[in-house]
Chain A
Amino acid sequence: MLLALDTSASYASVALTQDDAILAELTWRVENRHSSELLPRVQETLRAQRVTPAQLDAIAVALGPGSFNGVRAGVATAKGLALALSIPVAGVPTLDVMAWGARLAPVEVWALLDAGRGEVYAAVYDTAGAATQPETWTPRALTVQPGAEPGGYHILAPEALAAVVRDGATLTGELRPAARAALIGALAGRARLLEPAEPRRGGWLATLAQARLRAGRGETPATLEPIYLRRPAITRSARTDVAALSGAGSAAGEEGERLAL
């Protein structure tokens, strides 16, 4: 049995699968409560199927890009589970997972996630023929800046993104209203933007992870690394942590997340 975890964006999803069948899947709007809500939902999902952690054979996790702390909560949880159960873990880029859900769309499919600063994380996938196999599902290499190496995963402004989208393409993902509006304006009706709530991802993550595991591309907790795409912002530590001995232990951080037990 495989447990799949995706907390890379404002929707989170967990799925439990056996062979290629989905036993349970739970997708919810998590906002930035990734670290406090993930494990309770995992527990719920396993309990509903009367499955114990010891019965798991592998862990799948979405690697990002996305919310830095969201990705970290998912990857740290996956590492902990895999370490404690001595089972392999397979990481899958989050954009691959999102695009897989729209693989039957014509022309090409774009997976998009908010990257902040008015930009989006973007990758494009060919949807014709052999490309739509879980084993070979990777983004098309693209040169988005003159002189740059072609690559699969990009950070683009909505206008730059619209300039490389083919007519009739399908775009899926989670964008903030401003980025979404800018993109719709720039596309001028040439391509279709799916609704933000459409991503249902735990099961797709499981499918892509299973293909990696079968191909011997599982990883260990020590080697599993997330995908951030952005370099870290060099900011000073804002420690706001005095006199909390009797308090509930709230922690102020960059994303303003409240850590709860």
Chain B
Amino acid sequence: MASDTSPVPMRILAIESSCDETGAAVIEHGRLIRSNVVASQASIHARYGGVVPEVASRQQLSAIAPVIESALEEARVGWDAIDAVAATYGPGLAGSLLVGLSGAKALAFARGLPFIGVNHLEAHIYANWLRDAASPLPDSMPVADESWPGDPAFPLLALVVSGAHTELVSIPRHGVYELLGQTRDDAAGEAFDKVGRLLGLGYPGGPAIQRAAAARDPSRPNPYTLPRAWLRGSYNFSFSGLKTATLELTRQVAQAPVEGAAINDIAAAFQESVVDVLATKTVRA
């Protein structure tokens, strides 16, 4: 806990509903996580092999109220302790976004609180400033300061990788972004989903491929390598060629009886190719 002399914490109720997860959190001082509740729909979309927008939007509306209530409960605060309401305004799925956005704006209006709309990518980047409220703050913590010890130091480079994003962003100071590169086709997460489906590993593809890759015997050299799209001279990414190469390799391998080991090898080769390109480009930038 911060000392008694520290200022009264500014508490924000933050709501995110841009895709297939409904999230609500109570955040103090702009970075201390007092509660963070997420309702995931992954198991619902698994049977379709990807996010179905209308299904996601309907689930958002069912989840939004209980998720917000749980976030307040877990933070042990009532409405009177909330100073502002924030929500993702985009980019994302329109039907999903509008649930969190409409709900958050209504909450702010009803309580007479400021409403803060937040860009989804900016939120991904600023997640790096968040801290677990469970780890106690030293008494001397300068909570009112913009910069805390241990914060990421400017100038910064951010690689945003998720189901919908693959972007390399330069951040010279707070709130200033320069897009260095982005994907020309699929987002990395999308490529993982598609390859996960192709290999019969299920959805979401990221964790499924990671599990399969981790299951292979690391002492045995991987018989497969997959190409890397370097797009030389730029910080852009491309994953569609890799996806096609993975499909072809899987077909070739399928001529012989396919066993689990081959699937795991391909999964590992795919993952290595994606990570290699992302990491190399980020380091170069």
- Assembled-state Cα–Cα distance A249/B122 (Å): 11
A interface with B by C-beta (< 8 Å): 34-35, 38-39, 42-43, 53-54, 68-69, 72-73, 75-81, 83-85, 220-222, 224-226, 228, 232-246, 249-257, 259, 261
Taking a contact as CB atoms under 8 Å apart, the answer to whether B91 and A244 are in contact is: yes
- Please tell me which one of the listed residues A81, A251, A254 contacts residue B91 in the complex, with CB atoms under 8 A apart: A251
Q: In this assembly, does B251 line the interface, its C-beta being within 8 Å of a C-beta of chain A?
A: no
Q: In this assembly, does B224 line the interface, its C-beta being within 8 Å of a C-beta of chain A?
A: no
- Please tell me which one of the listed residues A80, A243, A244 contacts residue B90 in the complex, with CB atoms under 8 A apart: A244
- Assembled-state Cα–Cα distance A237/B190 (Å): 10
Taking a contact as CB atoms under 8 Å apart, the answer to whether B91 and A73 are in contact is: no
Q: In this assembly, does B92 line the interface, its C-beta being within 8 Å of a C-beta of chain A?
A: yes
Taking a contact as CB atoms under 8 Å apart, the answer to whether B62 and A76 are in contact is: no
Given contacts A77-B106, A81-B110, A241-B90, 10 further A-B contacts (CB under 8 A): A76-B106, A83-B103, A224-B65, A225-B61, A226-B61, A236-B52, A237-B19, A242-B167, A249-B117, A251-B92
Taking a contact as CB atoms under 8 Å apart, the answer to whether B54 and A261 are in contact is: no
- Assembled-state Cα–Cα distance A129/B177 (Å): 67
Q: Majority SS of interface residues in chain A?
A: loop
Taking a contact as CB atoms under 8 Å apart, the answer to whether A253 and B95 are in contact is: yes
Taking a contact as CB atoms under 8 Å apart, the answer to whether B52 and A235 are in contact is: yes
- State the Cβ distance, B157 to closest chain A Cβ, in Å: 14
Taking a contact as CB atoms under 8 Å apart, the answer to whether A72 and B111 are in contact is: no
- State the Cβ distance, B42 to closest chain A Cβ, in Å: 14
- State the Cβ distance, B123 to closest chain A Cβ, in Å: 11
Output the nearest chain B residue to A250 by Cβ-Cβ distance: B90
Kindly supply a per-residue 1/0 record for chain B positions 191-209, scoring 1 wherever the CB is within 8 Å of any chain A CB and 0 otherwise.
0000000000000000000
Interface size class of B (residues with CB under 8 A): 35 or more
Taking a contact as CB atoms under 8 Å apart, the answer to whether B109 and A261 are in contact is: no
Q: In this assembly, does B93 line the interface, its C-beta being within 8 Å of a C-beta of chain A?
A: yes
- State the Cβ distance, A65 to closest chain B Cβ, in Å: 13
Taking a contact as CB atoms under 8 Å apart, the answer to whether B102 and A38 are in contact is: yes
Query: A42 contacts which chain B residues (CB < 8 A)?
Result: 109
Output the nearest chain A residue to B169 by Cβ-Cβ distance: A245
Taking a contact as CB atoms under 8 Å apart, the answer to whether B107 and A249 are in contact is: no
Query: B56 contacts which chain A residues (CB < 8 A)?
Result: 237
- State the Cβ distance, A236 to closest chain B Cβ, in Å: 6
| Known interface pairs A38-B102, A239-B164, A254-B95; A85-B62 also in contact (CB < 8 Å) | no
- Assembled-state Cα–Cα distance A249/B92 (Å): 9
Taking a contact as CB atoms under 8 Å apart, the answer to whether A83 and B54 are in contact is: no
Kindly supply a per-residue 1/0 record for chain B positions 78-105, scoring 1 wherever the CB is within 8 Å of any chain A CB and 0 otherwise.
0100000000011111110111111111
